[in-house]
Amino acid sequence: MNRSANVSVLGVVLAMIAALLVVSGPVAAFPIPERLVFDVSYTGIPAGRAVQEVSIVGDEVHIVSTAHSADWLKLFFPVDDRIESVLIAGTPPLNIGVPRLYRERIREGWTRFHKEATFDRQKLEVHTRDFLKKTETTQKITKQTYDTLSSFFFFRSMPLEVGKSYFIEIFDCKKLWNTEVQVLRREEIETPLGRFKTVVIKPLLKFEGIFARTGDMFIWLTDDERRIPVQMKSKVKIGSITATLVGGSYWPEKK
């Protein structure tokens, strides 16, 4: 794979999974704990696996997203990514709250990132540490600022209106981005897990580094209160990437 063509296959998938949109409003009743497992392919070739998990630890919500390359890809382009978000729990019934801490440890070929962001909601500041470059910065944020991972769950909570765009500011350990997500259409699709009625969205990502702008990105969310991402596709400079939900623990228990 041409390293200049794209920072990584799985790095883009993490952006697809994590870097969505956060908006205010009541949180839907998706189950916690939740675990989503995705098979990732690059132009039709199996390339790896990505897993996203959310759990409640004490009075906090922990979200962890990992990605690893397939065995054949490890030989010349190893991927070992872990991104974490810790949130201060909100009010019942299931307000996940706001981020307190965000960490990313990225290994994608020759690319390395190891950063941490601590959010001060009283001062409306975020303090970022880059462990590899040995630098620290403090920047201003807004009350509606989230990290790239926690924003995913807030977007899933919203009643999506076709033809409408939503905006929010997302901090990526370097800069605050005003991110737009377009709600395009409703569509029924077939996946290895079955047939799903979905809502198709298009995030307009501007993030730098592992979340760099590539081609158009499309995400298929189940058209129900859970908004589970069952399929994600993105064009890159050479080829395309597809992430397909293949397992995990996400359906509400039957009573």
Using one digit for the tens of pLDDT, what is the confidence trace for 147-205? Answer: 888 877 666 767 788 999 988 788 988 888 888 889 999 999 999 999 999 999 988 87
In a domain, 184, yes or no: yes
Place of tokens 């580094």: 209
Range of the domain at 171: 8-245
Residue 100 has pLDDT above 80, yes or no: yes
Residue 89: CATH number of its domain = 2.40.360
In a domain, 113, yes or no: yes
In a domain, 200, yes or no: yes
From residue 30, alpha-carbon distances to 54, 102, 232, 251 in Å are: 11, 22, 19, 8
Place of tokens 């998990």: 53
Structural domain tally of the chain? 1
Task: Identify residue 127 by its one-letter amino acid code.
Answer: H
In a domain, 2, yes or no: no
Q: Which of these, 219, 228, 222, lies nearest to 250 by C-alpha position?
A: 228
Q: What do you get for the CA distance between the two ends of the chain, in Å?
A: 48
In a domain, 253, yes or no: no
Q: What is the mean pLDDT of residues 206-219?
A: 57
The pLDDT value given to residue 5? 36
Q: Name the CA dihedral angle for 3, 9, 11, 16, rounded to a multiple of 10 degrees.
A: 140
The pLDDT value given to residue 30? 54
The pLDDT value given to residue 184? 96
Residue 20 has pLDDT above 80, yes or no: no
Q: What is the pTM of this model?
A: 0.81
